Structure 1
Amino acid sequence: MNIGERLKEERVRLGFNQAEFAAFAGVAKTSQFNYEKGERSPDADYLAAVSAQGVDILYVVTGERKRQAADSISDDASELLQVYEQVVDADRQILLRMASAFASTADSSGKKVSN
């Protein structure tokens, strides 16, 4: 996967279309399209602007996700992590499958999707 593909992946993950992404990054929609196609490379100003919108720049550039500091996660997530670490390995796998099932029934805003 190249920089353009990872950039597109991040844009989609955050729920933006190309025009919205281009607007807050201060570039034309055609520039955004060219970045995602791998025909052009974004500059540092662009990367700083999209970083402010939540893009994981380390991932876009290197393909490696940046680790989140423990103090940057919500209290609910921290509590869930503490419970997870207290269960045996077999039960952890069950918890992961359950969490994945719940996540797959939610849209990008976290609202349940009706079938």
Structure 2
Amino acid sequence: MRTIVLIVNEVCVNFDSLCASRFKAERSRLSLKQAEVAALCGVSREMWGKYERGVAVPGGELLAAFARIGANVQFILTGESSGITLSRDEMELLQHYRQAPLQVKGSVLSALTTGSSRERAEQVIHGDVLGNVIKGNVTIGTGGIMNKNTKRR
């Protein structure tokens, strides 16, 4: 069994004992199967399994590839999160947003924020108001016949 000791932010990290489970946890957080993540990172599924079991130690290129698809490598190596961790769909949305023209960005922001405001709109009515003020859900005029036995005079 190969063991590598890394120094990250003045913390000594023994990959096989500390990082293998976090390596697997990051793959699970991204909702990827071993074969999927292995293909995205350019290794075999068997090799990926060795990384997750702590039998093999991933190199820098593999960790960089894993980071590009959303893994938090700082968490894998140190156990400390680097702040906000995005899901796979959030990363995809952000990538498309960054590549979009300014008009599209404006439309996206408008679509995402429509209806999210809790501000109340105020109505101002000028002139006389006849009728009742009704608040809430009310059914008016159900279409039924009232006083059907009453005769007109």
Q: TM-score range by the shorter chain?
A: 0.5 to 0.7
User: What value does the CA root-mean-square deviation take over the aligned residues?
Assistant: 1.9
Q: Which has the larger radius of gyration?
A: 2
Instruction: Give CA-to-partner distance per residue, 1:64-91, whole Å, 9 cap, x none.
Output: 10024xxxxx988xxxxxxxxxxxxxxx
Aligned partner of 1:34: which letter? K
Q: Give percent identity, aligned residues only.
A: 34
Aligned with 1:50 (options 66, 70, 79): 66
Aligned with 1:38 (options 51, 54, 64): 54
Counterpart residue number, 1:91: none
> What residue ranges of structure 1 are gaps of 5+ in the alignment?
69-73, 77-115
Counterpart residue number, 1:62: 78
Aligned partner of 1:46: which letter? L
Higher helix share: 1
Counterpart residue number, 2:26: 10
Aligned partner of 1:49: which letter? A
Q: TM-score normalized by structure 1?
A: 0.57
Q: TM-score normalized by structure 2?
A: 0.44
Write out the 4+ residue segments of structure 1 that deviate beyond 3 Å after TM superposition: none
Counterpart residue number, 2:150: none
Q: Number of paired residues?
A: 71
Distance 1:29 1:51 in 2: 18
